[in-house]
Structure 1
Amino acid sequence: MFRKQRRPRQALTEEESIEILNRHGVGVLSLNGDEGYPYGVPISYYYDDGALYFHGGRRGHKADSIAANPKASLTVIDHSETYAEEYANNYCSIIAFGKVEVIDDPDEKLARLLAFTLKFVPENPEHTEEVVAKDVRGVTVFKFTIEHLTGKVGKYTDRAQSAMKRD
């Protein structure tokens, strides 16, 4: 169903890709938007056991696009550095493919929104819990179930250099 990477020796392992998902919390969610145009929107997320969780409004381009077609991808760039003299780029990125659904269960919705918020604001969990409990009704929480995860390093990274020496 999903294409194989064109340069498999530069591929990240699943564990390395998950590490990047956990290390970061911002990526670009790509959806099928209005009139068939691609819709890429930056989102904050957190990863848990094969799924990404994020939130948004009840209405809007993102929610409407997901309702019309739940298939999506998320791109996270771990790092990127250009070497002008060599016309090369040292990079590391991942792409997750999967389907997005709305979490309707009120208890799960609250738990996921709280976990999301604590990822970004871990300093005062008691206060965070109060704020989230007040705001949860006005927020939509989405679950992005990952069906395929792929990652790649540029040929100038240390890891890629090691991989190329094995070939």
Structure 2
Amino acid sequence: MLPMRRKDREMERTEAERLLAEGVYGVLSTADGNGQPYGIPLNYVYCNSAIYFHCARTGHKLDNLAANPRVSFCVVGRARVLPHRFSTDYESVVAFGEAREVEGVEKEQALVWLLEKYSPDHLDEGRAYLARQGAATKVIRIHIRHLKGKARK
């Protein structure tokens, strides 16, 4: 990975992980076998130093991951345009790694983590929904190889 050009804006690893854990959505970037890029926003959860997301059993991102499991995943946190300064205050993090499907206990745990993050007041209903519909979804884990956070405050 290339070093960050603006070292004065580089986040400490713990701050980058905080943003990754607190983010509401991220953008998954993949490429197909011919190198055609594809970016898609999605819900996710960051647990045990990995990113997890769920998806349908077929689709564009899964086709791309089958051809090339290397991905990047970007989360933007706070952002405020400063028109009078021709600039923006922001914080963002980009993770680079490999994405693979998980199954069994790891899949079930990731789906519960997603419930806890996005539907904390509806856990019982969510668990019942997973019992009925869990088999219709895939869960993908991104094993993070490199993480960069950047902020202008």
Mapped contact 1:110–1:133 kept (Cα < 8 A): no
Instruction: Compute the displacement of 1:86 (Å).
Output: 1.9
> Letter of the aligned partner of 1:136 in structure 2?
G
Mapped contact 2:115–2:123 kept (Cα < 8 A): no
Q: Which runs of 5+ in 2 are unaligned?
A: none
Tell me the equivalent position of 1:55: 54
Q: How many residues align?
A: 153
The separation in 2 between residues aligned to 1:132 and 1:146, in whole angstroms, is 26
> Letter of the aligned partner of 1:144 in structure 2?
I
Identity of aligned residues (%): 31
Mapped contact 1:11–1:151 kept (Cα < 8 A): yes
TM-score (norm 1): 0.87
Equivalences for residues 1-167 of structure 1 within 5 A:
2-33=1-32, 35-104=34-103, 106-154=104-152, 157=153
Question: Which of structures 1 and 2 has the bigger CA Rg?
Answer: 1
Instruction: Compute the displacement of 1:128 (Å).
Output: 1.5
The separation in 1 between residues aligned to 2:137 and 2:47, in whole angstroms, is 20
The separation in 2 between residues aligned to 1:34 and 1:60, in whole angstroms, is 15
RMSD, matched Cα: 1.3
Instruction: Compute the displacement of 1:91 (Å).
Output: 1.2
The separation in 2 between residues aligned to 1:151 and 1:133, in whole angstroms, is 37
Instruction: Compute the displacement of 1:114 (Å).
Output: 1.8
The separation in 2 between residues aligned to 1:61 and 1:53, in whole angstroms, is 17
Instruction: Compute the displacement of 1:50 (Å).
Output: 1.1
The separation in 2 between residues aligned to 1:128 and 1:18, in whole angstroms, is 26
The separation in 2 between residues aligned to 1:25 and 1:98, in whole angstroms, is 20
TM-score (norm 2): 0.94
The separation in 2 between residues aligned to 1:108 and 1:10, in whole angstroms, is 35
Mapped contact 1:12–1:151 kept (Cα < 8 A): yes
Instruction: Compute the displacement of 1:77 (Å).
Output: 0.6
Mapped contact 2:79–2:88 kept (Cα < 8 A): yes
The separation in 2 between residues aligned to 1:85 and 1:115, in whole angstroms, is 41
Structure 1 residue runs of 4+, over 4 Å off? none
The separation in 2 between residues aligned to 1:25 and 1:141, in whole angstroms, is 18
Between stretches 82-91 and 11-20, larger displacement belongs to 82-91
